[in-house]
Amino acid sequence: MSLSMVPSAEVLADVLPTGRLTAAARPVPELREHLRRIPNLRNALTVGGAYLQSFGVIAVALVLNRWWAYVIAFLLMGRAFARLSILAHEAAHRLLFSPRVANDVVGRWLLAYPAFIPFEAYRRAHMAHHREELGPNEPDAALYAGYPITRASFRRKLRRDALGVSGWKNLRPLFGALRKRTSAPIALRILAVQAVIAGSFALAGYWWAYPLLWLAPWMTVWRVLNRLRSIAEHGGMVASDDRRQTTHVVRQHLASRFWLVPYNTGWHLAHHADMGIPWTKLPALQRELVQSGWVTPSIEYPSYTALWRALSSRPGS
């Protein structure tokens, strides 16, 4: 059994450049100009849809007022945070709206801060992630390193996520940031947005909905989903000029797109091949990568579950 998650050089087809892709797998200028167009109206509707799938889910549960409705809402709110976070990621790339002010205002106040994301710090770290991609200054190296791990270790990580241990680990720095002059303004903005959300529930007569159906799913369900998605992107990969050795390729299915990788974020190799392509055009770029012969079935996992099995395949306990 191979303990490396990195595709060997023998299965990496040497087919670039082509007439449509450069040697670095980026679209040639003419194609890139078409793919980089930002669909402002569609993205505005998408942000609205994300809100319907978050606050709307909670509202339906409150109206139904049944225990099973609260359980369903609790689980679906993990999915809702995935949507808010991925759209905030799009804004961090300045790909959500063409006007920069609109992009950053919506990205900060309507997407990132409700999901406890310090937008400014996240943007800096995420751009470093794209520059380094598992290099010595990769800000997320600890998240991706060491795979494959044992099945027992994998279960322990997911258990800590599901029980809120990882959630508290990610929430605690927000309060610590209040004591630092440089980070306090951002922390206060996040807390102000959370106060507005909590206050809205309280004014509606459901003060308990904030801790039960907003904060708790973020602390638990979202942490599980976020880990599963993150390690499926780069777990066990290595720094390389060939992004097929830095980023996994996974076949996309309806269930995974519903729960885990909304807004085409599952086409992650395409995103790393050209981070200036909006989410709506990532499938088109993925098709270009496949049609060129650069992405082949030999480096594609048939499902996320198959990839997670490989990521937890190290013998031992």
Give CA–CA dist 144/134, Å, rounded: 8
Question: Cα separation of 156 and 159, whole Å?
Answer: 5
Is residue 248, in this structure, part of any structural domain at all? yes
The Cα 185–Cα 118 span in angstroms is 10
The pLDDT assigned to 317 comes to: 63
Tokens of 12: 């990496």
DSSP for the chain, please give it. Answer: -----SPPGGGS------SSB-TTSPBPHHHHHHHT---HHHHHHHHHHHHHTTHHHHHHHHHH--HHHHHHHHHHHHHHHHHHHHHHHHHHTT-S-SSHHHHHHIIIIIIIGGGT--HHHHHHHHHHHHHHSSSTT-TTHHHHTT-S-BHHHHHHHHHHHHTTHHHHHHHHHHHHHTTSTTTHHHHHHHHHHHHHHHHHHHHTT-TTHHIIIIIHHHHTHHHHHHHHHHHHHHTT----SSGGGTS-EE---HHHHHHT-TTTTT-HHHHHH-TTS-GGGHHHHHHHHHHTTSS-GGGEES-HHHHHHHHT-BS--
CB-based contact 62:206 (threshold 8 Å): yes
- Identity of the residue numbered 34: H
Domain membership of residue 122 (yes or no) is no
In a domain, 22, yes or no: yes
Q: How many residues does the chain have?
A: 317
* Alpha-carbon torsion (256, 93, 161, 231), positive or negative: positive
Is residue 158 assigned to a domain?
A: no
**Domain membership of residue 291 as a residue range:** 1-35+220-311
Q: Is residue 282 part of a domain?
A: yes
Looking at residue 3, its pLDDT comes to 78
CA-wise closest residue to 207 among 190, 224, 195, 218: 195
pTM, entire model: 0.96
Q: What are phi and psi of 69, to 5 degrees?
A: -70, -35
What does the alpha-carbon distance between residue 75 and residue 90 come to, in Å, rounded to a whole number?
24
Angle value at C-alpha 43, between 81 and 93, nearest 5 degrees: 75
- Sign of torsion over alpha carbons 35, 41, 43, 49: negative
Q: Establish if 272 belongs to a structural domain.
A: yes
Contact criterion met (CB below 8 Å) for 200 and 51: no
Mean pLDDT per block of 10 residues along the chain (317 residues) reads 83 97 97 97 98 97 98 98 98 98 98 98 96 90 93 97 96 93 95 98 98 98 98 96 97 97 98 98 98 98 98 89
When divided into structural domains, the chain yields a total of 1
The answer as to whether 242 is a domain residue is yes
